[in-house]
Structure 1
Amino acid sequence: MLLNKYQIKPLVAVIPNNQDKKLMVDDRNEDFWKNIKRWQNKNWEIALHGFEHRYVTKHKSIVPINNYSEFAGVPLKEQCYKIREGIKIFKKNGISCRVWIAPAHSFDENTIKALKQESDITIISDGIAWSPYYEYGMHWIPQQLWKPRKMPFGIWTICYHPDEMRNKDFEILENFLEKNSKQFISINGLALNKKTKSLLEKGFEKIYWKLLEKKQKKN
């Protein structure tokens, strides 16, 4: 595996109770949770990725990438239930968790309230900046890229969906890792504090969303 070869310790988003048929791309894996536990024992970071990965609303999200969601716009009580049940499944399988990754990047302030009430999660992997920041009482590790790109400075997270990757994508990733693997760090290597976004980062964020909106309108 590429990640082992280049000693990368990734952040892995795990759906506790997947009900999204689009993600049922193979036969049921009876060793699924054993594999997740094995990854965690190798110091891979396991994140809670929603509950069922079913999109039930079309409400505005804190992170304005998509207009569909499993969480944004859902009442707090129901969101608490989803988080609570997801964490319960994790614990049943011996998985600890401190990171949240929302399905479709879509969640609201009630989601954050539910995370605080029902879990030990203190980190959100999402948002736009070039360094970790603190907002809504949570540490945010920005996620800005969907393909490998060498950046001049900052902390950059690349989002991959392995089930959607083709051979060419794996080749591109390996070429990048071969040249840049020493630049990768795990969450444990980050200095998380209560620093808020700088004015420059806020400007960068506004430009990022405007460019994304323009691109989405074209498509």
Structure 2
Amino acid sequence: MARFVIRLDDICPTMDHEKFARARAHFAAADVRPLLGIVPDNRDPDLEIDAPDPAFWAQMRALQAQGWAISQHGYRHLIHTGARGVLGISPRSEFAGRPLAAQHDDLAAGQRILAGEGLATDVFMAPFHSYDRATLRALNSLGFATVTDGYGLFPWQAGGLRFVPQLFERPVHFGLGTYTMCLHLNNMTLDEIDALGQFVSANAARIIGFDQACVRAWPAALAAPLGLPLRLALTARRRLR
């Protein structure tokens, strides 16, 4: 039986407030608590949908207190390079292809912002699904424990970090495994968010908290053979979109 986490990317004070409120109501009705990917200091104009919400940080703390998980979604969500990173998905990156010291400094700056807002986390979510080996070294040195990304049917452990795979970018499921599905509420219509609510309600028994997904992690040597065919299929699909 599939068990999966709902992951919400691009959470920041200028996100689409109506869409987030609509999705939040659906999650509350189904007693589902997603993983929030919070951009610590958004500078990406594509994420400036609404005026900054003065209650944003208080709302995030309230959701965390209710059991929603928090992830650091990069630093400023800016594109610094055209590197696809280790996953080979998107030819744009905030981190991959940059010097280790620069990556470390940006990650640390984002980490300080979240900690200052009472939202300290050891979970990392790379903007554009793009990170490289230097990113992982920087994450290790800063005390991060988990990366929410990668190909596989089950979480795995490698290089001192735990990886929880991310397979789909819309509300569907594979029928097997433990993974996250990544949703960008800003890019969804209200009808699509309502359809998400129906999916969540119908599949609430399968949806788990991010902490539950992290309980067991396979050694990388055992997880890799399962991840390879998924990587080939999903990479081809994402590049065609």
Q: Same fold (TM over 0.5)?
A: yes
Give runs of aligned pairs for residues 55-70 of structure 1, distance below 5 A: 55-70=79-94
SS in 2 for 1:47: strand
Q: Which has the higher strand share?
A: 2
- Matched letter for residue 18 of structure 1: N
Within the alignment, does 1:95 sit opposite 2:119 as a pair?
A: yes
For 2:26 and 2:204, how far apart are their aligned partners in 1?
A: 11
Deviation, 1:116, is 1.8
Give runs of aligned pairs for residues 146-165 of structure 1, distance below 5 A: 146-165=169-188
Q: Which residue of 1 aligns with 2:3?
A: none
Q: Which residue of 2 aligns with 1:208?
A: 230
For 1:4 and 1:217, how far apart are their aligned partners in 2?
A: 34
- Matched letter for residue 158 of structure 1: M
Tell me, yes or no, if the aligned pair for 1:99 and 1:124 is still in contact at 8 Å: yes
- Matched letter for residue 208 of structure 1: L
Tell me, yes or no, if the aligned pair for 1:148 and 1:158 is still in contact at 8 Å: yes
For 1:42 and 1:172, how far apart are their aligned partners in 2?
A: 24
Post-superposition Cα deviations, 1:2-39, rounded to whole Å, max 9, x if no partner, equal 11111111110000010000000000111111111111
Within the alignment, does 1:42 sit opposite 2:66 as a pair?
A: yes
CA RMSD after TM alignment:
1.9
Higher relative contact order (CA 8 A, sep 6+): 2
Distance verdict in 2 for CA 1:166–1:88, change over 3 Å:
same
Q: Which residue of 2 aligns with 1:174?
A: 197
For 2:150 and 2:125, how far apart are their aligned partners in 1?
A: 11
For 1:184 and 1:216, how far apart are their aligned partners in 2?
A: 24
For 1:112 and 1:26, how far apart are their aligned partners in 2?
A: 33
Q: Which runs of 5 or more structure 1 residues have no equivalent in the other structure?
A: none
Deviation, 1:152, is 2.5
Distance verdict in 2 for CA 1:138–1:145, change over 3 Å:
same
Within the alignment, does 1:132 sit opposite 2:155 as a pair?
A: yes
Post-superposition Cα deviations, 1:95-148, rounded to whole Å, max 9, x if no partner, equal 120210000010111111111222x32000000111111122210110001122
Q: Which runs of 5 or more structure 2 residues have no equivalent in the other structure?
A: 1-24
Distance verdict in 2 for CA 1:214–1:95, change over 3 Å:
closer
Distance verdict in 2 for CA 1:94–1:67, change over 3 Å:
same
- Matched letter for residue 100 of structure 2: L
